[in-house]
Structure formats: C-alpha cells, structure tokens
Amino acid sequence: MTQQNHDVPDTETYDAAASSLAGQVDNSVMAELLSIRSSIDNIDATLVYLLAERFKATQKVGFLKAAHRLPAGDPGRESAQIARLRRLAEDAHLDPAFAEKFLNFIIGEVIRHHEAIAEDHQAAAEWK
Amino acid sequence: MTQQNHDVPDTETYDAAASSLAGQVDNSVMAELLSIRSSIDNIDATLVYLLAERFKATQKVGFLKAAHRLPAGDPGRESAQIARLRRLAEDAHLDPAFAEKFLNFIIGEVIRHHEAIAEDHQAAAEWK
C-alpha cells in the first residue's frame, strides 16, 4: 500500500495470499494451497453472516426471556440440541465431539448475552 | 415415546419443543419461543454442514502440508484471516471479538488435525 486511500473499501486490504510459508515452498504447491484457502475464505464469510443471523435470533429469545423473567439457560433444550447436532454431524462426516464442543462454545456466548439483556431489562424496570 | 422402534430414523427422536421451561410459561410465550428456536435449529443444521465442508477443505491443506513437510500452523495466514473476519463481522453486526474467538476456536481444531495427519504421514514414511 502507498498512502491511505479512503475510496478503497477496508476489505480490499485483505491479502488472500498472506502466508508465513511464502518463498519456502514450490510455486505449484503454493498455488494449490491458495486455491483451497480461497474456498475456506468463502466458507468463513458464510459462517460469519450465518452466526450473525443466529445471534439475531437468540437476541429475540433473550428479550422474550427477560420480559417474562425466565432463566437465561434452558438445560432441557440444550441437551436436545446437542443430541441432534451430534446426529447431524455424523451425517455430514464431521466429528460429533467437535460439533458438541462447537455448540457449547456458541451457547456459552448466548447465555452471556441473555444475562446482559436480563440485567439491562431489570435495571430499566427499577428505574421506572 | 412408547417402546423403541427401529424403523424410525434417529433424527425423528429430536423434540424441537424440549425445554426445562415447559409448564412454567404462558402458551403464547412458549409458542413464540418455539418459533424462534425452529429458525435457530435450521441455522444450526446449516452451520454443521458448512463446518463439515470447511474441515474437508482444511484436511486437503493438511495432506498438502504433510506431503511437503510444511508446519501445521501459518501465523501470517492466520493474522490476515482474523483481520478479515473482524471486518466481515462488523458488516454483519456480529461482535468482532466473538468472530475472532470463533476463528481461533476453529483454527485450534484444524491445527490439531494437521498435526495428526503429519504424524500419520511420518509414520507411514518410516514404515516404507
């Protein structure tokens, strides 16, 4: 990059060929690596947008729970979700243990959001 | 469920209405909760299949790295990925810090896979 150019969107600064391996591997190997990484980059963008959509949905759940003073977690729901995702993972040839770890990672974040929403709701109710 | 029925596929045993809140909330609130959860379930199935596809791609990278004795991790690539995902997360109104945590979670798993592939490859080479 030369100097800062405000006309160029931020995403254009991404170097899809960034690698600590540059210059250490054959050009043909690097070309194959970059081709696979380009698919991974597309999948990652999809994952980010999908996760954003998932948090929009769980935010609605959070508001609903806060409005009706329901607990942030729901162990009955969570164990049904985990069992289902493990089965789906098997179908997709994904390690079911990883799918479970992944869901627990997401649920942990969701519960933190729910608790924050409940606190805000509580604070707003007390202020009224 | 009455008795075990082997004709019924496993996925049919999933109870989309499973909840520890059952009986504790108004029917209308529960109906709204289940409606949002049904969208979350669809998103989760998509996430599982997308993650499976991502691991297929990183497995190819793992084989390529093992065949050419390249290191499992690539810090230059990882920092470019993280910066890009943070920007995408902002676009999608997803917490960039969460997007980064998510990518690190996935990369941790990928590196474990790459190391396992490299060990298998090494063992196979020594056995020849």
Nearest CA to CA, how far is B2 from chain A (Å)?
A: 18
ipTM for the assembly: 0.84
Task: Encode pLDDT of A13-58 as tens digits.
Answer: 899 999 998 888 899 999 999 999 999 999 999 999 999 999 999 9
Asked if B22's CB is within 8 angstroms of A74's CB, the reply is no
User: Which pLDDT belongs to residue A83?
Assistant: 95
Asked if B43's CB is within 8 angstroms of A68's CB, the reply is no
Task: Encode pLDDT of A112-121 as tens digits.
Answer: 888 888 888 8
pLDDT at B3 over 70: no
Sorted by where each starts, the structural domains of chain A and their CATH numbers stand as 27-127 (1.20.59.10)
Q: Please give the Cα distance from A52 to A63 (Å, whole number).
A: 17
pLDDT at A102 over 70: yes
The Cα-based distances of A73 to B7, B32, B78, B92 in angstroms read 34, 17, 33, 25
Q: State the SS3 of B37-78.
A: HHHHHHHHHHHHHHHHHHHHHHHHHHHHHHHCCCCCCCHHHH
Most A CBs within 10 Å, among B51, B63, B78, B105, to test the A interface: B51
**Model pTM score:** 0.84
3 state DSSP class of B16: coil
